[in-house]
Structure 1
Amino acid sequence: MIHGLSFLSLSASVVLPWALAGMVQGQKITEPLLKDVPQSSTVQVNKLPNRKLISQVPGASTTYYVSGSGNDKNSGLTPSSPFRTPQRAANLTKPGDTVFLMNGVYSNSSPSGSVLVITRSGSSNAWITYKAYPGHSPKIQHDGWHGIWIKNGASYIEVNGIEVEGNNRNISLSYALSQKNNTGNPKTSGSCITIDGRQNGRPHHIRILNSEVHDCGGGGITGIEVDYVTLNNNEVYNNAWYAPFGCSGISFLKNWNYDNNQSSYRMIVTNNKIYRNRMYVPWIFNGKIQDGSGYIMDRGRNNEAGSKLPPYQGRTLIANNISYLNGGGGFHAFRSDNIDVINNTSYLNNQTPEIPYGQISMNDTKNVRVLNNILYSQNGKPINLSSGRNINTTFNYNLYNNNGYAASGKGPNDIIADPQFVNAAGNDFRVRSTSPAINSGIKFDFLKTDFLGGPRIKGSAQDRGAYEIQ
């Protein structure tokens, strides 16, 4: 779907569009690169296991209930009379409504269909919210094209605390490889959550929160021609395995400009755990395996041949995320600008032998800051990538492991040392009390909390990486 190498000219999500599919206000950003400017932040973070429902819709006009034991002939207006399918509720929603999903497994009703197609919009002061009923763990489980498909310009939508599982558990690699030229098989290529702006209007102001998104042969969370999207406190794993479209765990392609705001963050990706997303089937466009990143922002300049969109001017924040054991890079941007990559931990990505571009790679970018991250690469593989086409792209105050490979674009305050993870083999990427990551970062005042929701500064200075030692 989305690639990141500069010699390529077209992404598979454009070639094969059927395979894929913000905050209410942007967050203020006024601080310069190496100067502290106090300011407020409204990004809230929570530990993923708590799955706290962090946002409420004020003045919701109607609340609908959906249950695995419900019936679409019910009223759907009480927990004791719930609908059976989330689509039944979605077809009724108006601004300010809430759809509670109760315990149950929700599947696509047709072989190529989607479980939940969202086409109705909320408004700036009355979002439509789809979320887990308190104490419940609903699951969308599908083998069609999308678990959740937000399309036709649907905006002011929140998805909160919902598990979305694809079809990978039912697919073998040999079968997937036998389908490598089949562009019409949703069983190998279905995506988990797609925010799709290619037809009938472009979605904006979308929040995906506290959700578990996994085992989709296509993308995990995919946005195409969207703006003002917030992804916070999600767990995104085991996606992109079997589609021939070049997918990744979290990907944005060809962002569009809902407005001209350049003083606030419009795309916000924070506190997510992203792992084991990987391509095993070659991209049909060129027969290569070159994606499967944890996170990628692709072609935000919209300058490829035939593009009808102007360059995306919004700012993007990628902060407090943990990305590990993905096939491609941990965090990657290609022909995209105005990005802050702050306080992330990226560990042993580039698991795919063919992919060489490091834990955090900025390829043909402009106005990018990569600060306070921990990057840990395999021996003999690049730690990061800062291409010669970058303009005003800064790596600084990062920590790189000593793997025998020089860092690209190394800043004056970057250090090469052992981060001293507590238990990386057990996926515990906190650092020990003796780690050189502690109290050695630069203050980025926008971030008030770390991955676990604790204070971002606990000591003399900000730590490097997703965690702040408490």
Structure 2
Amino acid sequence: MNKVTFFLSLVYFLFFNSITAQNILHVATIGSDSSGNGSESNPYKTLQKAEQKVKAGDTVYVHTGTYRNSDFNDGDIWGGENLLKITANGTATNYITFKPFPGDVVILEFDATYGVLIKDSSYLIFEGFDIKGISDNITQTEADDAWGLYIDKNDGQVYNLEDEIGISYPNPSPYKRGDDIPKISKNLTKPSYFSGKGIVANNSHHIIIRNNIVRETPGSGIRSNGSDYVTIANNEVYNCTFYTTAGSGAVTVAEAKVIPENDLFEGVKIILEKNYIHHNENRMVSYASSKDFLHFVIDEGTGLFLTRNLTYNHGYIQISNNISSYNGASGIVVHFTERVIVEHNTVFKNGTTNDSSAGGIGINNTDKLTIRNNISYAEPNHWAIGTLANPNTSLTVANNLVYNEDGSESISRNISTGWTEENPLFEDSVNGDFSLKSTSPAIDNGSTDGTQTTDYFGNNRDTSPDIGAIEFGSVLGIKDEDKLDAIQMYPNPTKSLLNINIKDANLEKGKIEIFDISGRLIQSKLITKDWIQLDLKGPIGIYVIKIQNNNSIIIKKVVKQ
């Protein structure tokens, strides 16, 4: 190659890469979709405008504020504009990213069918947002009154199922609770106001949904439907699925399919990991429009839910290192799904509202399923591990720790091996701390066949892994006992301000990080003096303080009241 050719090639390379280089687009409540250009000084006003401009490799930074769908609070219960619909596509080497500007807090509040709909999209990261539905604005009476309302898609008219089946919901008379009540199968639309979903990936692939809070959505918090290569990780999902009449879990994977169609990879492709799923429940009797009967019970509101995935022909789904607690139905359910690994999860006191005795890890029509190294602690009169329906073939159950509190219900249902019944001894389960006490029977008793090298907090598991989501010592662990004693942290509990005195701990040139109980980093601060004051601005609950330098890592717990 001569010098001229080389020079032209270099110019072309630099020019091409400048075109394809990552761009940053900004969105702010004070911005403008008409005159803004997406720069930090002249941002767009809506996320949807940024989505229309985004290209492979771009990052959309959203600045502090509350963003709502354009017709928010207009009184329409049937639909409305989604807050954000993403159809953009990145590439395998240039993901598109939507996230808050560093240090900013962004709330996406919606009352439509979806808060964020990711449809026909690929190679996308969506992270760091607070997604808020409107369940806290809905009363049980309002939801009950709307229970049977639907629009018949054939004629566009509004009908009420109560009139057709002859009941006055929630009273099933002349039927009784638990009956199968005949109805007509119809192609219909239910009011979306009572079933809005937080983040949904539909017909998409290579999607990462991580580090979000999803709360108060009437329907599912996070859902993947007809998608592949989806990772749902490090999210907190709570107070969801209250008012939907559709079969929903707080985090749901449904009707997964191989994308692209010729993909034959048989490894793990869909991952649900390190999520904190709690206090989600269903308060309504659900019914499917396609069925000619409804079963008059409350049986939805599962924490982590795999359903109707027999459409998924290649690849595994993995549920690992999650905490699923105080949900209405089971903590984890695998339903009509094949090739699944469920391991190192902590499932605690689920089954809060459902009519059945299910409340732990349940399976129904599965094949090639592994349930390993999980803790399942059930409510009284609920079983901790079991089959909801058969067949369940090629089932592996190993090294699980199960327990229920002095109930009359058997600890398991049709799964007789692969578990030990004993109290796992959590540190403070009442306040959401599921780390293990030093006397816990879960310590060092996990199977070494597990695939997880880290725990819920991202800390390494050793060669004798513990059962459950949290490896002993990873939250309250200490790598230097004398330095731990030298750190003074007060007041604890605190209402807001936390003082940390590290004068005698020799932790110079280090940093302090604050995590919430879900493992999400809340704030980080360099150590520049012996005394530091932190403002815990988040909600009440347990926080983890991590103090470290090159030589030591000290981890402490603080409670905000």
| TM-based fold match above 0.5 | yes
User: For 2:149, which of 171, 182, 185 is the aligned residue?
Assistant: 182
Tell whether 2:48 aligns with 1:87: yes
Tell whether 2:303 aligns with 1:290: no
Letter in 2 for 1:416: E
Letter in 2 for 1:139: I
Tell whether 2:122 aligns with 1:155: yes
* More displaced stretch, 182-191 vs 266-275: 182-191
Corresponding residue for residue 209 of structure 1: 210
Q: How does 1:5-404 map to 2 (within 5 A)?
A: 60-110=21-71, 111=74, 112-151=80-119, 153-183=120-150, 184-196=190-202, 202-258=203-259, 259-285=262-288, 286=294, 287-302=296-311, 311-386=312-387, 387-403=389-405, 404=407
The C-alpha deviation readout for 1:40-88, integer Å capped at 9, x for no partner, is: xxxxxxxxxxxxxxxxxxx753210011222223434332221110001
Alpha-carbon distance in structure 1 between the residues aligned to 2:277 and 2:323: 6
In structure 1, stretches of 5+ residues that fail to align are: 1-58, 197-201, 303-310
CA apart distance, 1:98: 0.9
Corresponding residue for residue 460 of structure 2: 455
SS at match of 1:335: strand
Alpha-carbon distance in structure 2 between the residues aligned to 1:74 and 1:125: 32
Q: Confirm or deny: 8 A CA contact 1:260 1:314 kept in the other structure.
A: no
Choose between structure 1 and 2 for higher RCO, CA contacts under 8 A separated by at least 6 residues. 1
SS at match of 2:427: strand
Q: Confirm or deny: 8 A CA contact 1:359 1:377 kept in the other structure.
A: yes
- Cα distance 1:248–1:319, how it changes in 2: closer, same or farther (>3 A)? same
Alpha-carbon distance in structure 1 between the residues aligned to 2:400 and 2:256: 28
The C-alpha deviation readout for 1:257-297, integer Å capped at 9, x for no partner, is: 11443432110010000011111121133243211100111
* More displaced stretch, 437-446 vs 335-344: 437-446
Q: Confirm or deny: 8 A CA contact 2:386 2:415 kept in the other structure.
A: no
CA apart distance, 1:380: 1.8
SS at match of 1:177: helix
Alpha-carbon distance in structure 2 between the residues aligned to 1:273 and 1:74: 41
Task: Please tell me the root mean square deviation across aligned C-alpha atoms, in Å.
Answer: 1.7
Alpha-carbon distance in structure 2 between the residues aligned to 1:107 and 1:321: 30
Q: Confirm or deny: 8 A CA contact 2:357 2:383 kept in the other structure.
A: yes
Alpha-carbon distance in structure 2 between the residues aligned to 1:60 and 1:265: 31
SS at match of 1:91: helix
Alpha-carbon distance in structure 2 between the residues aligned to 1:388 and 1:262: 28
CA apart distance, 1:469: 0.9
Letter in 2 for 1:269: L
Alpha-carbon distance in structure 1 between the residues aligned to 2:354 and 2:81: 35
* More displaced stretch, 274-283 vs 207-216: 274-283
Bigger Rg over Cα: 2
CA apart distance, 1:406: 3.3
Letter in 1 for 2:357: P
* More displaced stretch, 75-84 vs 292-301: 75-84
Alpha-carbon distance in structure 2 between the residues aligned to 1:428 and 1:317: 24
Alpha-carbon distance in structure 2 between the residues aligned to 1:282 and 1:167: 20
- Cα distance 1:445–1:248, how it changes in 2: closer, same or farther (>3 A)? closer
Q: Confirm or deny: 8 A CA contact 2:427 2:436 kept in the other structure.
A: yes
SS at match of 1:159: strand
Alpha-carbon distance in structure 2 between the residues aligned to 1:93 and 1:216: 27
TM-score normalised by the chain length of structure 2:
0.68
* More displaced stretch, 380-389 vs 269-278: 380-389
In structure 2, stretches of 5+ residues that fail to align are: 1-19, 75-79, 151-189, 289-293, 474-561
Identity percentage of aligned residues? 30
The C-alpha deviation readout for 1:141-187, integer Å capped at 9, x for no partner, is: 01111110111x11111101011100111111110111112344232
Letter in 2 for 1:407: S
- Cα distance 1:122–1:263, how it changes in 2: closer, same or farther (>3 A)? same
SS at match of 1:88: helix
Corresponding residue for residue 442 of structure 1: 447
* More displaced stretch, 68-77 vs 352-361: 68-77
The C-alpha deviation readout for 1:375-405, integer Å capped at 9, x for no partner, is: 0011221111134410011221000115452
The C-alpha deviation readout for 1:394-449, integer Å capped at 9, x for no partner, is: 22100011545232354655211110011111111111000000000012463221
Letter in 2 for 1:73: S
Letter in 1 for 2:271: I
Q: Confirm or deny: 8 A CA contact 1:246 1:279 kept in the other structure.
A: no
Q: Confirm or deny: 8 A CA contact 1:396 1:410 kept in the other structure.
A: no
The C-alpha deviation readout for 1:352-386, integer Å capped at 9, x for no partner, is: 24132231111110101100000001122111113
User: For 1:467, which of 454, 470, 479 is the aligned residue?
Assistant: 470
SS at match of 1:383: strand
Q: Confirm or deny: 8 A CA contact 1:262 1:315 kept in the other structure.
A: no
TM-score normalised by the chain length of structure 1:
0.81
CA apart distance, 1:461: 0.6
Alpha-carbon distance in structure 2 between the residues aligned to 1:379 and 1:189: 30
* More displaced stretch, 130-139 vs 276-285: 276-285
Corresponding residue for residue 413 of structure 2: 408
Letter in 1 for 2:196: G
* More displaced stretch, 410-419 vs 124-133: 410-419
SS at match of 1:390: strand
Alpha-carbon distance in structure 1 between the residues aligned to 2:337 and 2:237: 22
Corresponding residue for residue 45 of structure 1: none
SS at match of 1:229: strand
Letter in 2 for 1:455: N
Q: Confirm or deny: 8 A CA contact 1:122 1:155 kept in the other structure.
A: yes
Alpha-carbon distance in structure 1 between the residues aligned to 2:33 and 2:263: 43
SS at match of 1:389: strand
Alpha-carbon distance in structure 2 between the residues aligned to 1:232 and 1:455: 17
* More displaced stretch, 412-421 vs 328-337: 412-421
